Structure 1
Amino acid sequence: MSSPTSSEFWKGKRVFLTYPTHFLGAWTALSLEHLGAQVFGFAEATESVSSSGAVRLFDLANLGQRISMTYGDLRDEETLRQALQFAEADIVLHLGEMGLLTDAEKKPLEILSKSVMGTGTLMELLRETASVRSVVVAGSDKVYARTPDNRATTENDKVAAGDVFPTAKLCAEFVALSYRSTFFTPAKYNKHKVAIATARMGSAIGGGDFAENSLISQAVQSFIGKKTFEVRNPHSVRPWIHVLDQVAGLLSLAQALFDKGPRLAETYNLAAVEFESVGEVVKEFAHIWGDTRSSVSGADAGPSTLSLHGQMSGDLAAEQLGWKPQWDLTKALTETARWYQDYYSGNSSPEQLGAGVREYFRS
């Protein structure tokens, strides 16, 4: 099954992408490059490595040389203005501030400031950037208020403050949508020609994620070291989606905004459709990897409990964007295992590390 995104559409498009140094951003940049777009990245120079010093996909794939990068703080109006003027972008993908929970606990004000003021600065400068037609701002699946029946949340459900990171993402959404209502209103689209929407999504799996708290990264390290992997909360049921399915969702939304303008909704859930317990996923991943040493901790003996923040409805995206995840869990885990096995076996050329993009977006 081919991707809903069109290579004919993206060929030659100029795309301004914030935070290509992050996991999702790197895969987005690789995908755009594969589809023939010209990519202009913007991120802080220190964001090319994690807080623990682990190298990220951005460096491994040599993206710093493959795309046009500007390094700076989104809150720095002049640096951002110059980058936008140079890019003359058709489309802006604002992936926003990301990081570890420990980072949020250590510097919550900085994270909130970057999300709110960084997004605000970007939106303000778009008022003087005549080339942009489509803007997507990435949000979080954890912005929804808890529902007593734990049903799948829709875009019209109530949102609420939570941990610092999802709250910061929600604030960024509100800033973008306030500019949509005030300066880029759909009623005056023929005058400004800018269509804006936000996309809510959760954590994804895929190669190149070296975060210390990543389940897949931890499992890979145990396989490489031939050590038993003890899983915390193995009965916890979570949504699972490959990062390239999320990228395809972002690109599908950006393309639809470009083509259809204000006829779209202001927010879309890019939702996973598969739910499985952590323990079962690790067992399947170990089987795909070929490792028999992993085990599941029995510390959590309770029944399977679906994450209250994990179940979103993707019906709107399917109906209006023609998007839904293409890779099932087995395929997602297989491609993820292949990436790490290639990397640790020395097949780590930038071209090889981005091979999954060619597989995903094949004709």
Structure 2
Amino acid sequence: MVRKITFWENKKVFITGNTGFKGTWLTILLLELGAKIKGYSLDEEKDSLFNKVSKQLKNQIENVKGDIRDYDLLKKEISVFGPEIIIHLAAQPLVIESYKNPLQTWDTNLMGTLNLLEAITNTKFSGTALIITTDKVYWNNNSNQQFKEDDFLGGYDPYSASKAATEIAVASWRLSFLDKNSIKLATARAGNVIGGGDWAKNRIIPDAIKSILKKDSLKIRNPYSSRPWQHVLDPLNGYLNLIEYLEENNIEHENKISSYAFNFGPNTTQNKSVLELIEKIYSFWPRKYQFDKNTIYHHESESLNLCINKSQKLLDWNPKLNFDLSVEMTTNWYKDFYLNSKHAMDICLKDINNFLNL
């Protein structure tokens, strides 16, 4: 899809979880497209992309500190802002953390989303709401199948299960309470995102960069697990394409749970193992290294493949970056930040504008 720049010009967009990794990239991207943004999120982590660019964003967005589980505050902020578009990213996003705090994970991911749905139903919101879930909503038996939007949902770990339940809850809410003529409600399931500015714990890119900087060996839980790695800008571009499509079209087969669900991932030929990802990073930032392969202590799927035919056909969306380019752009972001002392915002803007011009 050719981006209609004017679509986002002065569009009022409410983003939950805007201080997270994807939320920060989305915020900067939408500002470049001319949108007016209100963010609703917990305090950012000290070592986070949002923290690095917060001074530059301070006068460009309205930012509210709030918990997605606080219904009254959430409803108030939506009502006061009067958004045309809502993008829901707030979540407990880590599999390992979900084992440590399963109830908090379920409460945030499922009940937090239901709070948002209740809020948009009981305000004057009339537009499109996009709920971001994950590629891990599918019941994965390691058969190496390409998961389509109408495949069976499920989850082994609390994170995946809570997101699968969220998909069911969103579909139920849309059918039960929303007037399709005034509110469009969809979900997006994206593959494993990478990109500069990720410093989250227990994620492979931050761990790899730290190992380079500290000259330590890298500990990998599952080196041969294959994943649909994609640069963060590719699925974000897909989310925007989906919103534009929903604003201008009706989906006729709305009685199916998968009708308003869309996969965003790389072409399956671009799926690579964790080990291949690490070796590719080190090819762009050479160093001597060795791998310290830990014992696997939590269940993780051996492979995960997304079928993106629906997004390609309906939205005319395709990933712009292949695996090599995604890893190169990600690695160069950190090299610019650590070796060339460039500001995080400047690097993000360079990547975004290069991406938009592809």
State TM-score, norm by structure 2. 0.88
Question: Which amino acid in 1 is paired with 2:136?
Answer: K
**1:58 maps to amino acid:** F
1:277 to 263, 267, 273: 273
1:139 CA drift (Å)? 1.1
* Residue number in structure 1 paired with 2:195: 206
- The verdict on how the C-alpha distance between 1:97 and 1:27 changes in structure 2, with shifts beyond 3 A counting, is same
Which residue identity is paired with 1:236?
S
Conservation of the 8 A alpha-carbon contact between 2:226 and 2:302? no
> Do residues 216 (structure 1) and 205 (structure 2) align?
yes
Looking at structure 1, the residues matched to 183 and 190 of structure 2 have their Cα atoms a distance apart, in angstroms, of 23
In the alignment of these two chains, the number of paired residues is: 344
Q: Which structure 1 residue ranges, 4+ long, deviate > 4 Å from structure 2?
A: 296-300, 306-309
1:350 paired with 2:345, answer yes
Amino acid paired to 1:287: S
* Of 198-207 and 273-282, the range deviating more from structure 2: 273-282
Change in Cα spacing, 1:107 to 1:210, as seen in structure 2 (3 Å) is same
Task: Indicate conservation of the 8 Å contact 2:19/2:41, yes or no.
Answer: yes
CA distance, structure 2, for counterparts of residue 36 and residue 214 of structure 1 = 32
Aligned residue number for residue 88 of structure 2: 94
Paired with 1:297 and 1:105, the residues of 2 have a C-alpha distance of 23
- Residue 256 (structure 2) aligns with: none
The match for 2:19 among 11, 18, 21 is: 21
Q: How far, CA to CA, are the matches of 2:134 and 2:211 in structure 1? A: 29
Which of 67, 71, 75 does residue 69 from structure 2 map onto?
A: 75
Cα drift, residue 107 of structure 1: 2.2
Report percent identity of matched pairs. Answer: 28
**Which residue type is aligned with residue 347 of structure 1?**
K
Letter of the 1:28 partner, please give it: L
Q: Does 2:189 match 1:194?
A: no
1:117–1:64 CA distance, 2 compared to 1 (3 A):
farther
Picking from 51, 73, 78, the partner of 1:59 is: 51
Correspondence for 1:161: 155
Report what 1:244 is aligned to: 233
Q: Distance in 1 between the 2:233 and 2:155 partners?
A: 28
Give the partner amino acid of 1:99.
P
CA offset digits 1:166-195 (Å, max 9, x no partner): 222222222222121012254xx2xxx111
Letter in 2 for 1:92: I
Q: CA deviation at 1:251?
A: 1.0
- Establish whether residue 235 from structure 1 lines up as the match of residue 224 from structure 2: yes
Is residue 293 from structure 1 mapped to residue 295 from structure 2 by the alignment?
no
Hey, what does 1:39 align to over in structure 2? 37
1:333 matched to 2:332? The reply is no
Distance 1:13 1:267, change over 3 A: same
Indicate if the aligned counterparts of 2:197 and 2:344 stay in contact, CA closer than 8 A: no
Contact 2:281 2:327 survives alignment (8 Å): yes
Shift of 1:101: 3.2
Question: Structure 1 stretches of 5 or more lacking a match?
Answer: 301-305
Distance, in Å, in 1 between the alignment partners of 2:162 and 2:76 is 26
Q: Given the alignment, which residue of 291, 313, 326 partners 2:307? A: 313
Does the Cα contact within 8 Å between 2:79 and 2:125 map onto a contact in 1? no
Matched residue, 1:104: 98
Q: CA deviation at 1:332?
A: 0.7
Question: Of 346, 352, 360, which residue of structure 1 is paired with 2:355?
Answer: 360
Unaligned 5+ segments in structure 2 are: 254-258
Q: Would the alpha carbon gap of residues 81 and 330 (structure 1) be closer, same or farther in structure 2, given more than 3 Å must change?
A: same
**Who is 2:123 aligned against?**
129
Tell me the secondary structure at the aligned position of residue 61 of structure 1.
Answer: helix
